[in-house]
């Protein structure tokens, strides 16, 4: 008697947040969820620079004049 057991891989693949490619989500992948060290470093760098970047948003036009109103 044979048991039909399909060999399921214990590892699964996730999408690398940095490059969007397949990344091995397993203990052997030290850079998970990233696919490689490069992607991990790249993402950390991007995250850091983005957190430090303050974008000043200027309101274009539409300046409301203060109308005090006469007596």
- Summarize as ranges the residues that interact with Zn ion (CB under 5 A): 16, 18-19, 21, 35, 39
| Of residues 38 and 48, the one with the C-beta less far from Zn ion | 38
Quote the longest CA-to-CA distance of the chain: 102
Give Cβ neighbours of residue 66 (< 8 Å, ≥ 6 apart). Answer: none
| Of residues 16 and 24, the one with the C-beta less far from Zn ion | 16
Q: Which residue has the tokens 């996730």?
A: 14
| Of residues 49 and 70, the one with the C-beta less far from Zn ion | 49
CB of 25 to Zn ion, least distance (A): 12
């Amino acid at each position: 008697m044979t048991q039909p057991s399909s060999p399921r891989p214990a590892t699964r693949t996730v999408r690398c947040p940095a490059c969007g490619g397949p990344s091995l989500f397993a203990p052997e992948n030290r850079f998970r969820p990233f696919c490689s060290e490069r992607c991990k470093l790249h993402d950390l760098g991007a995250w850091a620079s983005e957190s430090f970047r303050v974008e000043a948003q200027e309101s274009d036009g539409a300046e409301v004049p203060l109308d005090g109103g006469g007596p």
